[in-house]
Amino acid sequence: MSSDRHSSLEPLTIDGWRWQPFLDHACTSLQRYQLEPYPIAPEFLLQQSSTGSKAKPVSVTTATWACSTPKLRQVRAACVQAGAAASVLNFVVNPHCTYDLPFFGADLVTLPAGHLLALDLQPALKQDKAHTEAVWERLRPLHQRWQIDLPSGGPIPAEAEPYFSPGFLWTRIPLGEEGDALIKSAVMPAFQEYLALYLDLVDQAEQVSESRASALLEGQKRYTAYRAEKDPARGMLSRFHGSDWTEAYIHTVLFDL
Judged by CB under 6 A, the residue of 90, 94, 132, 246 near ligand DBV is: 90
> How many CA atoms lie within 13 Å of 17's alpha carbon, on the beta-carbon side?
26
Stretch that binds ligand DBV, among 30-38, 46-54, 114-122, 173-181 (CB under 6 A): 114-122
What x/- string results for residues 133 through 162 when contact with ligand DBV is judged by CB under 6 A?
A: -----------------------x------
Distance between CA atoms of 230 and 166, rounded to whole angstroms? 21
Distance between CA atoms of 254 and 90, rounded to whole angstroms? 9
Q: Does 197 bind ligand DBV (CB under 6 A)?
A: no
State the minimum distance, in angstroms, from the CB of residue 11 to ligand DBV: 19
Distance between CA atoms of 183 and 25, rounded to whole angstroms? 14
* CB closer to ligand DBV out of 39 and 232: 232
* CB closer to ligand DBV out of 197 and 208: 197
| Residues 83-103: b if buried by 16+ CB within 10 A, e if exposed | eebbbbbbbbbbbbbbbbbbb
Judged by CB under 6 A, the residue of 42, 57, 235, 242 near ligand DBV is: 235
Judged by CB under 6 A, the residue of 77, 93, 139, 236 near ligand DBV is: 236
Distance between CA atoms of 156 and 24, rounded to whole angstroms? 29
> How many CA atoms lie within 13 Å of 237's alpha carbon, on the beta-carbon side?
23
**Interface ranges with ligand DBV (CB under 6 A):** 78, 88, 90, 105-107, 109, 116, 118, 120, 156, 227, 231-233, 235-236, 254
